[in-house]
Amino acid sequence: MKIRLIGFWVRIAFLFLVRSGRTTAALSFMVVTAVAALIFLSALAVGVKDAMLRNTVGLFSGHITGYNLPVTTRTEELRAPGVESILKRIYVPGVLDHRGLTQPITLCGINPKQEAEVTAFEKKINQGRYPETGRNEILISSELMEIFNVGIGDKLQFSLRPGDKASVFSISGIYQSGLAGLGRGLTFCPLDTIPANNAPWSAALFLRSGVKATNTVNIYTQRFEKPTRFETWEEQMPDLRQLIDLEAISMVVVIFLVFGVVAIGIACSFVIFIIRNMREYGAMKAMGVTTPEMSLLIVIKVTLMNLMGCAAGMLIGVLAVEVVSQLGGIDLTTFTSHNRYFAVSGVLYPRLTAFSIWAPPLVSFVFSLFAAMWPAALVARKRVADILRWI
């Protein structure tokens, strides 16, 4: 096969596709719809992952949690590339007492203003508000509210151990997280009112989008000595990590299955199309077009058609993602309200990534090459005399 003829075959294939407009359009339509649908689905899968992360990491814990930070450590010392917010928290275990009824709890000292700005936890406060800095106020869970049978404004006593001197707190709000790890015993008060505020503190670190938590943890590991330690959200929530990986694998399987079906569709359509025009292929062979050249021509035809379909599909898919995102996402709250990974919001915002944009057309391209093999083999196998006699 002569290299100088490749441009000629590309031109012939292009003319074939352009001048067989309706057939090309019908065949391309399969590719266009598959690519567009899969770009949208992939973007939606990214949106689901984002929503799960936003709802779990963003609710309270952050992307990285720092433990046992010395009292002398300032929050500024935790500044690192990609770290967007640093929330200081002090956890003190103790006993909450109301008219002789006691409950073991963990009192968490927070900066209410920062918490409201950075986390989504405020959405979980279904009565009252965050405690105010400088005031002896606490935020309790709805479970504690029921146990103590208290409401907003009622007073509760907190002591480190039963019998110790108690601090009196007024209930400013009641929350219901819906999460097993974030309920019942966890009670919040302002940092400046927490007893034993000289205890080692914890940090919830929130990262900018796209920053790898493990990289930041490596920086902190070099900066701080034990017993201070840092954990990523993936270490804290391996189930969420697995769920995200599972979703990614499912999407890859879907992409391959869809394009498997589309490739078979393209191959079948092309075989029918080639049988219909077999006499022309016979004439070309009689003119001395070699089998590799004929196969190349068919591969170029399928590939060009696929490229045109992919370009249109990508445009439609990207536009669809942008439109849905701009119009406020897809609200699936009805289906996610009891799901802990969607504890704050069930609204999904499809988001485009390099994978979601390029994987469908790339897979389509590879599958189209396979799709071209059948019709190419059909033409290659037929002898000219048979073609001329047959049709």
Can you give the binding site for another protein, defined by CB under 8 A?
A: 2, 4-5, 8, 12, 15-16, 18-20, 277, 279-280, 282-291, 383-385, 388-389
Cis peptide before 227 (omega within 30 of 0): yes
The distance of closest approach from Cβ of residue 313 to another protein in the complex, given in angstroms and rounded to an integer, is 24
Contact 251, 41 (CB under 8 A): yes
The distance of closest approach from Cβ of residue 286 to another protein in the complex, given in angstroms and rounded to an integer, is 5
The distance of closest approach from Cβ of residue 288 to another protein in the complex, given in angstroms and rounded to an integer, is 3
CA angle 84, 110, 346 (to 5 degrees): 60
User: Positive or negative CA dihedral for 349, 354, 356, 361?
Assistant: positive
The distance of closest approach from Cβ of residue 380 to another protein in the complex, given in angstroms and rounded to an integer, is 10
Q: Which is nearer to another protein, 8 or 335 (CB)?
A: 8
Contact 344, 54 (CB under 8 A): yes
Tell me which H or E stretch contains 35.
Answer: helix 21-56
The distance of closest approach from Cβ of residue 310 to another protein in the complex, given in angstroms and rounded to an integer, is 22
Q: Which is nearer to another protein, 14 or 358 (CB)?
A: 14
Q: Which is nearer to another protein, 12 or 357 (CB)?
A: 12
Q: Which is nearer to another protein, 20 or 303 (CB)?
A: 20
* DSSP codes, 67-90: EEE-TT--GGGG--TTEEEEEEEE
The distance of closest approach from Cβ of residue 353 to another protein in the complex, given in angstroms and rounded to an integer, is 39
Q: How many helical (H) and strand (E) elements, i.e. helices and strands, does the chain have?
A: 12, 12
Of 8, 93, 62, 6, whose CA–CA distance to 204 is shortest? 62
Instruction: Quote the CA–CA distance of 137 and 336 in Å, as a whole number.
Output: 33
Q: Which is nearer to another protein, 210 or 288 (CB)?
A: 288
Q: Which is nearer to another protein, 102 or 277 (CB)?
A: 277
Strands 201-207, 347-348: pairing kind: unpaired
